[in-house]
């Protein structure tokens, strides 16, 4: 069964075509990677799926668990199990991580008709997850992403995944700005997060993270569409010849 | 209130002020308001009926008694009963005002304070921040309520002043004139909570003069929580004597138009800390604070926050004046505003006037708003627009509450705000 089904998708930003006639199917439990040169439309795809208002779908549809989400609001998509990690995480001064995560956690549970969890239980839960990522307790008191290093921002994303337990996770350049040890740690956690009910789309420029995670399919994105789909073998060719080889 | 008996004299006074206004630089609107007020005073009835029995029902059971002997008639008895029952805080010492009459004082308070009435002679030798509302207050109140806190007392329980505006005399204008004198070596906390009925339009004019003598500490918490139609005007003067400390927190939660003017006069080695939170929610708020460092080694620290939930106007003026004599003075003033609504207008002017070279002073103003990217980030984590507004407001309010270091006061303000 497909968790994500994109049919004939055309997307515009201010009359400029960004995605052109894209078709993509992702089954439950699969990991897909999307690679491609800068400006090819990889991040635009993730933001379109998330529901960013700047990206307007003028043709085609996106199905999440068989539901057409074209007209869903951004939060409704998240509540239906979509998680999008942004390339550059936004800072929100004045709002501390604990309040933000607690509210987010409970609003998703509420939508899914699960019981809300009280703050004491939530604190226990979050501290347990933070321990896995070697995060200090101070993190909860700090404002969301404010003054975070690149690595801390990515760790924050992973912590959110651990808490919110989404069904489809889109990670946009999760490996950028990470040192080798952190990258390895995060890759292992992502690998452990993979299960029969959870799918991933990993957008990246580098093959290191893919070596750890082992995606089933690697899609090469160019000029707003997928021009080639292959398995891990394609990584060697990309390293040797770059993306120019595909353009020919 | 005694002044109201002599309506004719009062009207003459107002006419005199009106003439002054004609000469001066007051706006047309202010003149109109004044004329309307003059008409209302004529209608002001002096009918008073007994209400004490109702209030006795609430309090006699608890072996407490009512202070005032005035015979007053409260229109909406159930409203007041419910309000007092809901807002009664067990860990405080209670004083209740209904309109501008003290109707109840906790017995325990008589160990610490003296309450009387004094002739209201308007003296302000510094001659600053005078406005039309101060004059008006003086016209209405021939006598002011004088509260004196005895010296060498450490009052551990906060004094909770609950001001209920119910308009028992078919009039919606309330004028408070209070003089609070805190004698030497005394520590106390005061909570002033101002409320009114849901449906009445009220005009409240509050004038408070607080004098803190040597080596005393006052924690003063003010909560303004009126209905959407009400007007609240307040003029506060604080005179802080040698080695004394004032911690003043005020929370403007609801009212249609609010105008707060505060003057703080700091003497040798005295300190003042001011924190305020204004919620802009279809209302206009003017917050003026003038801090005068009169003598050496005085310190002032101020943080004024505003949060705009819905459209409105917020005007902030903070002036720090450091005198020639007040060398080695430290002063800090910050105004932080967060917009959650595009239509809100904010005018902020933190100012500093320094007349000596041996002082340290900082002043700043920040205007923040939640941009589209921030909204998007919060939304992709499953928060609806309503959730985002709630969580941002909650965090901002909590940040302001965290300024309160006194644990008891913090507990109380949390109770009051989240009861809403």
Task: Determine, for residues A100 and B381 on separate chains, whether the beta-carbon distance falls below 8 Å.
Answer: yes
Q: Is-contact B266 B105, C-beta < 8 A?
A: no
| CA dist B61 → B53, B58, B95, B162, B268 (Å) | 12, 7, 17, 20, 48
Query: Where are the extended beta strands (E) located within A28-177?
Result: 31-35, 56-64, 67-68, 82-85, 92-96, 143-144, 168-172
Interface probe with B: pick from A69, A75, A109, most Cβ of B within 10 Å: A75
Tell me how far apart the alpha carbons of residues A75 and A85 are, in angstroms, rounded to a whole number: 14
Q: What is the pLDDT of residues A189-236, one digit of tens each?
A: 888 888 778 899 999 888 888 888 888 899 998 888 898 888 888 888
Task: Name residues 131-170 of chain A within 8 A of B (Cβ).
Answer: 144, 160, 164
Q: Report which of residues B249 and B61 the model is more confident about.
A: B249
Contacts with B397 from chain A: Cβ below 8 Å = none
Q: Can you tell me the distance from the alpha carbon of B308 to that of B293, in angstroms, rounded to the nearest whole number?
A: 32
Distance from CA of A156 to the nearest CA of B (A): 12
Q: How far apart are CA B103 and CA B293, in angstroms?
A: 38
When pLDDT is averaged across residues A24-49 and rounded to a whole number, the result is 90
With a CB cutoff of 8 Å and minimum separation 6, the contacts of A63 are: A2, A4, A5, A6, A7, A69
3-state SS, residue A182: helix
Q: Which residues of B touch A (CB under 8 A)?
A: 338, 368, 370, 372-374, 376-384, 387, 390-392, 394-396, 398-399
Please state the pTM of the whole predicted model: 0.76
Token digits of residue B190:
């005061």
Q: Is the pLDDT of residue B40 over 70?
A: no
Determine, for residues B382 and A95 on separate chains, whether the beta-carbon distance falls below 8 Å: no
Nearest-by-CA chain B residue for A79: B382
Residue B387, phi then psi, degrees to nearest 5: -60, -40
- The Cα–Cα gap between A135 and A148 comes to 12
Q: Are strands B93-98 and B159-165 parallel, antiparallel or unpaired?
A: parallel
Q: E strands within A153-196?
A: 168-172
Name the band, by pLDDT with cuts 50, 70 and 90, for residue B57. Answer: very low
B379 contact residues in A (CB cutoff 8 A): 51, 73-75, 78
Return the number of CB contacts < 8 Å for A and B: 73
Give me the DSSP letters along B183-236: -TT-EEEEEEEEEE-SS---EEEEEEEEEE-TT-EEEEEEEEE--TT-EEEEEE
Question: Is the pLDDT confidence value at B95 over 70?
Answer: yes
Question: Quick check: helix, strand or coil at residue A39?
Answer: coil
**Do the chains contact at B377 and A90, CB–CB below 8 Å?**
yes
Distance from CA of A214 to the nearest CA of B (A): 27
**Predicted confidence (pLDDT) per residue in A3-21, tens digit:** 999 999 999 998 889 998 8
> Among A95, A111, A160, whose Cβ lies nearest the Cβ of B391?
A95
Report the 10 Å Cβ neighbour count for B194: 25
Q: To probe the interface with B, which of A76, A77, A97, A103 has the most B CB atoms within 10 Å?
A: A103
Contact yes or no for B382 and A164 at CB 8 A: yes
> How far apart, in whole angstroms, are the C-alpha atoms of residue B399 and residue B276?
11
Q: Which of A107, A160, A165, A169 to probe by mutation at the B interface, max B CB count within 10 Å?
A: A107
State the pLDDT at residue B59: 40
Paired tokens of B280: 């802009």
State the angle between helix axes of A97-111 and A150-164 in degrees (0 to 180), rounded to the nearest 10. 30
Judge whether residue B246 has pLDDT over 90: yes
B204 - beta bridge partners? B174, B232
Crossing angle of the two packed helices B407-419 and B385-401, in degrees rounded to 10: 150
Using CA atoms, how far residue B38 sits from A71, A89, A122, B15, in Å, is 59, 60, 60, 9
**Mean pLDDT along residues B205-215:** 91
Q: Is A107 on the interface with B (CB under 8 A)?
A: yes
**Mutation for testing the B interface, residue in A52, A79, A100, A159 having most B CBs under 10 Å:** A100
Partner residue opposite A90 with nearest CB, options B373, B396, B398: B373
Pairing of strands A67-68, A143-144: unpaired
* pLDDT of amino acid A163: 92
Of B370, B382, B399, the CB nearest to A78: B382
Q: Encode pLDDT of B261-306 as tens digits.
A: 999 999 999 999 999 999 898 889 999 999 999 999 999 999 999 9
Torsion of CA B414, B394, A140, A117, to 10 degrees: 80
Instruction: From chain A, pick out residues whose CB is under 8 angstroms from the CB of B381.
Output: 78, 100, 104, 160, 164
Query: Is residue A106 within 8 angstroms of chain B, CB to CB?
Result: no
Which of B374, B378, B382 has the CB atom closest to A79's CB atom? B382
Q: Kindly tell me if the per-residue pLDDT of B196 is higher than 50.
A: yes
Separation between Cα atoms, residue A12 and residue B174, nearest integer Å: 61
User: Is residue B15's pLDDT more than 70?
Assistant: no
* Rounded (5°) CA angle B329-B335-B336: 140
Cβ contact (<8 Å) for B368 and A111? no
pLDDT, tens only, A112-128: 899 989 999 999 999 99
Task: Tell me if A104 and B381 make a contact (CB, 8 A cut-off).
Answer: yes
Tell which residue, B290, B294, B315, has the closest CA to residue B235: B290
Mean pLDDT of all residues belonging to chain A: 88
Write out chain B residues lying below 8 Å of A109, CB-based.
none
């Amino acid at each position: 069964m497909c968790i994500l089904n994109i049919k004939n998708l055309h997307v515009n930003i201010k009359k400029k075509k960004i995605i052109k006639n894209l078709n993509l199917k992702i089954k439950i439990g699969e990991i897909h990677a999307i690679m491609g040169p800068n400006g090819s439309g990889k991040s635009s795809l993730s933001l379109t799926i998330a529901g960013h208002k700047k990206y307007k779908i003028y043709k085609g549809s996106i199905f999440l668990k068989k539901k057409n989400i074209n007209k869903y609001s951004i939060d409704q998509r998240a509540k239906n199990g979509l998680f999008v990690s942004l390339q550059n995480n936004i800072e929100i001064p004045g709002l501390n991580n604990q309040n933000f995560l607690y509210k987010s956690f409970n609003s998703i549970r509420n939508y899914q008709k699960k019981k809300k969890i009280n703050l004491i239980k939530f604190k226990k839960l979050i501290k347990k997850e933070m321990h896995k990522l070697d995060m200090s307790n101070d993190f909860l008191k700090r404002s969301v992403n404010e003054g975070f290093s690149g690595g801390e921002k990515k760790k924050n994303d992973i912590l959110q995944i651990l808490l919110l337990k989404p069904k489809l996770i889109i990670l946009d350049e999760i490996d950028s700005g990470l040192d080798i040890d952190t990258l390895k740690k995060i890759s292992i956690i992502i690998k452990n997060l993979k299960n029969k009910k959870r799918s991933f789309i990993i957008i990246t420029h580098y093959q290191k993270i893919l070596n750890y995670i082992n995606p089933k399919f690697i899609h090469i994105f160019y000029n707003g569409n997928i021009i080639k789909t292959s398995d891990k073998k394609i990584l060697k060719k990309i390293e040797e010849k770059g993306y120019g080889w595909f353009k020919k | 209130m005694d002044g109201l008996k002599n309506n004719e004299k009062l009207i003459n006074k107002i006419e005199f002020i009106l003439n002054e206004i004609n000469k001066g630089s007051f706006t047309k609107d202010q003149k109109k308001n004044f004329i309307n007020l003059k008409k209302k005073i004529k209608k002001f009835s002096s009918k008073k009926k007994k209400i004490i029995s109702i209030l006795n029902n609430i309090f006699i059971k608890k072996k407490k008694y009512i202070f005032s002997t005035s015979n007053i008639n409260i229109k909406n008895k159930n409203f007041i009963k419910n309000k007092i029952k809901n807002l009664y805080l067990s860990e405080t010492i209670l004083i209740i005002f209904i309109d501008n009459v003290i109707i109840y004082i906790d017995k325990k308070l008589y160990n610490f304070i003296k309450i009387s009435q004094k002739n209201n002679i308007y003296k302000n030798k510094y001659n600053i921040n005078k406005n039309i509302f101060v004059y008006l207050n003086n016209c209405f109140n021939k006598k002011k309520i004088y509260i004196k806190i005895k010296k060498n007392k450490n009052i551990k329980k906060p004094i909770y002043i609950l001001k209920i505006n119910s308009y028992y005399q078919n009039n919606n204008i309330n004028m408070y004139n209070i003089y609070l004198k805190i004698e030497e070596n005394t520590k106390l906390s005061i909570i002033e909570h101002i409320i009114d009925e849901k449906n009445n339009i009220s005009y409240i004019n509050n004038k408070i003069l607080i004098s803190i003598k040597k080596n005393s500490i006052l924690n003063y918490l003010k909560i303004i929580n009126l209905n959407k139609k009400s007007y609240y005007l307040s003029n506060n003067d604080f005179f802080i004597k040698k080695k004394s400390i004032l911690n003043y927190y005020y929370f403007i939660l609801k009212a249609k138009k609010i105008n707060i003017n505060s003057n703080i006069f700091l003497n040798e080695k005295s300190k003042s800390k001011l924190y305020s939170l204004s919620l802009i929610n279809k209302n206009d708020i003017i917050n003026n604070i003038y801090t005068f460092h009169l003598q050496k080694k005085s310190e002032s620290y101020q943080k004024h926050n505003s949060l705009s939930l819905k459209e409105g106007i917020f005007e902030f003026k903070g002036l720090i004046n450091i005198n020639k004599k007040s060398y080695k003075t430290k002063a800090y003033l910050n105004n932080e505003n967060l917009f959650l609504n595009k239509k809100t207008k904010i005018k902020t002017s933190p100012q500093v006037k320094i007349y000596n070279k041996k002082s340290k002073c900082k002043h700043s103003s920040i205007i923040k708003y939640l941009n589209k990217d921030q909204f998007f980030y919060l939304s992709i984590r499953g928060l609806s627009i309503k959730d985002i507004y709630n969580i941002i407001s909650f965090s901002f309010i909590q940040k302001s509450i965290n300024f309160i270091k006194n644990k008891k006061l913090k507990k109380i303000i949390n109770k009051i705000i989240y009861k809403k």
